[in-house]
Amino acid sequence: MNAPPEPAYRVAVIGGGPAGLMAAEVMARAGLSVTVFDRMPSLGRKLLMAGRGGLNITHSEPLETFLTRYGAAANWMAPRLAALPPSAVRNWCAALGQPSFVGSSGRVFPTAMKASPLLRAWLARLASLGVGFVTRANWTGWDSHGVRFADGRTHAADAVVLALGGASWPRLGSDGGWTGLLPDLDIAPLRPANCGFTVAWSAYFATRFAGTPLKRIALSVAGHSVRGELMITAQGIEGGAVYALSAMAREAIARDGFAEIRVDLRPDISATALAERLAGGGSQSLSNILRKRAGLSAVAIGLVQQARHAGDPSPLLDMIKSLRLRLESCAPITRAISTAGGIRLAELDGNSMLRRHRGLFVAGEMLDWEAPTGGYLLQACLATGAAAGRGVLAWHAAGGRLAGAFSPGASPAG
């Protein structure tokens, strides 16, 4: 008599963003029975939001430089990026019918620029691999039947991948509420990353220039400098150059109660050459000197004038080449592009499994790493998702299964 077939190895993926979907793909390709659960009515909502202005999937710089973008988490991220490097992500996109190109900044975008064609093709591929999708499923923990959801449904699983994201843009699905479901883990507080900052503008400046970009500038914080542009908001500043330095500014605010950022309004000209242009202003107004001799835009002139009205005693040349802005606080985490903090990396073993909860794997922004915009965020989410998927495969190969239901503090045996 033939032995009955072994039941399929069931994996629940909680979170339908890039990290969860990549974990699902790795496992489904190996023949595991995978179901993805998400509390929103549809999957990949933050991915779609990220692609509204052009989906930046990765970056073309050498991997050695790429790794430095992850700061303290670079060593931990290294094997994950080695297993799924930027070149592999580009090939993966191409296989989904979404070829990519390298922009002038080195950033990599799908030719279609948008996220929606990529997501549609990805979900279709997953469905063809047998992956199931359950939406409006708000995970609340475990019970005697398996993974539990807010509506009372449960799902039996032999392994679980958590990919619930951080706490930025909660209306898109990630609200950080999972921290309360894992109280025994060492979790670094969730904080805004790639965020804007508040500045105490004058009422006139805020009214006149809110929504105006300040282009072709250089910003410096705590010895770190970056060229780019920023956007003036009614409350402060945001934009690519600001995001690139947001981690340093955030830490300075946490330490000192504020951060000072320096703005070079004309980084393309030396201080010596600019001083020659400014010499002999005669009877011209300050506004005309700044516009005609320094070549400043209206918003840049407004910044200099505001600094003067606020009592900054710096010489005019210094104001143009190193304008001081005091950042009072980070913009709310709900408006940040990404999140810092999360489950500390020491809580995971080399297979992305929690040391205290055997059979429970974690990926994406739930973990304590951060990176600037420019393709590094999505690349890391995909790489950590793939790593969690491979971890489940190793767990399965070793005969590991969740020993029934468990709750925080318990350690299911494998």
Could you report the per-residue pLDDT of 387-408, keeping only the tens digit for each? 999 999 999 999 998 865 444 4
Exposure b/e, 224-244, CB count within 10 A at least 16 = b: eebebebbbbebbbbbbbbbb
Q: Lowest mean pLDDT of 50-59, 94-103, 324-333, name the range.
A: 50-59
For residues 84 and 88, give the distance between their C-alpha atoms in angstroms, rounded to a whole number: 6
Are the beta carbons of 349 and 3 closer than 8 angstroms? no
- The C-alpha angle 143, 385, 168, rounded to 5 degrees, equals 80
Host H or E run for residue 164: none
| pLDDT higher than 80, residue 100 | yes
Q: What is the 3-state secondary structure (H, E, C) of 97-115?
A: CCCEEECCCCEEEECCCCC
- pLDDT (mean) for 355-360: 92
Lowest mean pLDDT among 250-259, 272-281, 331-340, 348-357: 272-281
Q: Which residue(s) pair with 343 in the sheet?
A: 187, 367
pLDDT reading at 45 higher than 80: yes
The DSSP line for 41-54 is: SSS-HHHHHHGGG-
Its pTM surpasses 0.85? yes
Using pLDDT thresholds of 50, 70 and 90, give the confidence band for residue 359: very high
Has residue 412 got a pLDDT over 70?
A: no
- Beta bridge partner(s), residue 218: 227, 264
Least confident window among 13-17, 47-51, 262-266:
47-51
Q: Are 55 and 151 in contact (CB under 8 A)?
A: no
Superfamily of domain 10-192+337-397: FAD/NAD(P)-binding domain (3.50.50.60)
Q: How many C-beta neighbours within 10 Å does residue 302 have?
A: 22
Residue 340, classed as helix, strand or coil, is: strand
Question: Domain map of the chain by residue range?
Answer: 10-192+337-397, 197-330
For residue 186, give the nearest of 17, 348, 369, 51 by alpha carbon: 348
Alpha-carbon radius of gyration of the chain:
25
For 197-330, give the CATH class: mainly beta
d(CA 211, CA 205) in angstroms, rounded, equals 11
Buried residues in 122-137 as b, exposed as e (16+ CB within 10 A):
bbebbeebebbbeeeb
193-236 pLDDT, tens digit each: 999 999 999 999 999 999 999 999 999 998 889 999 999 999 99
Please state, as a whole number, how many other Cβ atoms lie within 10 Å of the Cβ of residue 313: 8
Mean pLDDT of the chain: 92
How many Å apart are CA 249 and CA 258, to the nearest integer?
8
Q: How many CA atoms lie within 13 A of 145 on its CB side?
A: 6
- Tell me, what's the pLDDT at 283? 72
Reported residue count of the chain is 414
pLDDT at position 66, please? 96
What type of residue sits at position 54? G
Q: For helices 376-397 and 74-83, what crossing angle results, to 10°?
A: 70
* Of 328, 335, 336, 330, nearest in space to 201 by CA: 328
Confidence label for 63 from pLDDT (cuts 50, 70 and 90)? very high
Indicate the pairing of strand 139-143 with strand 146-149. antiparallel
pLDDT value at position 1? 45
Report whether 43 contacts 37 (CB < 8 A). no
Judged by average pLDDT, the poorest of 255-269, 283-297, 327-341, 375-389 is 283-297
Token code pair at residue 205: 């400046």
Question: What pLDDT, on a 0 to 100 scale, did the predictor assign at position 414?
Answer: 40
pLDDT band at 13 (very low <50, low <70, confident <90, very high): very high
Confidence tier at 411 by pLDDT (50, 70, 90) = very low
Position of tokens 């080399």? 350
pLDDT of 403 reads 63
Share of the chain above pLDDT 70, in %: 95
**Enclosing H/E stretch for 257:** none
The predicted structure's pLDDT at residue 405: 46
276-315 pLDDT tens trace: 998 865 678 889 999 999 999 999 999 999 999 888 899 9
Condensed to tens digits (0 to 9), the pLDDT of residues 140-190 reads 998 877 899 999 999 999 999 999 999 998 999 889 999 999 999 999 999
pLDDT at 107 (0 to 100): 95
Is the per-residue pLDDT at 409 higher than 50? no
Per-residue pLDDT band for 3 (boundaries 50, 70, 90) equals: low
Q: Which of 11-20, 283-292, 331-340 has the lowest mean pLDDT?
A: 283-292
Residue 250: which residues within 8 A CB-CB, separation 6 or more? 191, 192, 193, 195, 259, 330, 340
Of the chain, the percentage scoring pLDDT greater than 90 comes to 84
